[in-house]
Structure 1
Amino acid sequence: MAFLGRGGRAEVYAVREPLTRRFEAVKILIPQYAEDPAERTQFAHEYVVTRHLEHPNILVPTELGEAGGTMWLSFPVVAQHSASALVPKRGEAPDLDRVGTLLRESASALDYAHARQIVHLDVKPANLLVVANPDFLVFLSDFGSAEEIRDGAGHANRLASLPYAAPELLTARRGDYGPLGPATDQYALAASAMELLTGRPPFPKGTTWAVAGAHLKSPPPSARSRAPWLPPAVDSVLHKALAKAPGARYPSCGEFADVLVRVLSYCDIE
């Protein structure tokens, strides 16, 4: 068993299945949370909400179980790293072909989930898993914060990652910016696109309150001010997807990704 990583409440290991001898990824609820009923329900939620999803770019758990006093989820081992590895360092230009593929495949996965009344609510580069060889493939993972859309709106069960959080997610209980829905995931995908193109998410610095306040009140920054080689139209595309009001964004994640990738095709990186 090899350790792969740790999140806030779980650890992930690579294990070899005794019968098939194939490797699987196993996410284990950290023992300190194993006796908390709310944490157990939340951990199982990822399996419950995704068990009917079948899409080539979505990674869902294959089994939910309990052993040694704690709970576990198993997944196929499909990826080599997350999209965080594609974020360019200062002064570097991204691989636009791979960024374009990543955005389109992620958008396809999100639109599929949305059509089945599921919103992810934690889209970010770390949750976009990547296979680089032999073909470049992307898998949307970690539906632990996902929710079903009921009566046209979703309900946040846990705050997602702040650098990518849409205004309506930050004020979900008050409803200041409207209901949670597909546009909430589009905002997070656009924030991820900003990071993959420029090296930083829209509002990368400051305290928790400062970053949250920027999502709520500040206009989106210019991607071209960070990466002057980007085509002029990039800012208008990103700004639309990062609009404060969900209704002002693109009709779907796929439409946003298609427009952005088309604009990026005019980029000339030497």
Structure 2
Amino acid sequence: MTSTSEPHILVIDDDPAIRELVVEYLSQNEMRVSAGSNGRELFEAMDREAIDLVLLDLKLPGEDGMQLARTLRERATVPVILLTGRSEEADRVMGLELGADDYVTKPFSPRELLARVRAVLRRYQVQATLPERDGSRRAFRFSGWELNLRTRRLRSPAGDTVALSNGEFSLLNALCRAPQRVLTRDQLLSLSRLHEAEVYDRTIDVQIRRLRLKIETDPAKPELIRTERGAGYQLASTVETLF
């Protein structure tokens, strides 16, 4: 399987022309882009997906853009870039004080927007290398797969949702927390229970076999979850952690 780490950008703007421009341009530059037109769609997307950055228009009809930015910052550590008008200096200042990471004034150059998005993402990638509490993790990405820890959903490289049992989710979570390290069956069992997923009498081997059926191109010749004979199992992929 090929690895992809395309950042997932969410643009919220009521102007369909702006949404289309941003989606098309960022998509052409190795980014995955979703779009919405209001606060409801913003938070629905945040609950459903692991978003890497939000582009938020402060002037949504009938909505308080500042309140949306404030609520977003309270709920998640996702970076935010505000989309504002040239005459809205007070709004830009207030937005930055609320915790927004940057702003872009309309009308904007797509190249400038791309540069600002990349700059903010780079800053957050550096921060992600610092020690964090386990509870702050939002998702793991590996070889094109994305395991969302909040929704407990697994998304395939093709964008499909793959259903996981509690045991399968917990086991994959444990493997993602220790990529390219061999974990014994006892370690995997212990780590799974730490995440409150009951294993009951199912063995780790059974859970591994079921996971392989769901994520391996050829489960008979696994490339992602490898067996280290006499030792345990290893997730043979680099893992990107989203906070």
Taking structure 2 as the reference length, what is the TM-score of the superposition? 0.30
Give the number of the structure whose alpha-carbon radius of gyration is greater: 2
Taking structure 1 as the reference length, what is the TM-score of the superposition? 0.28
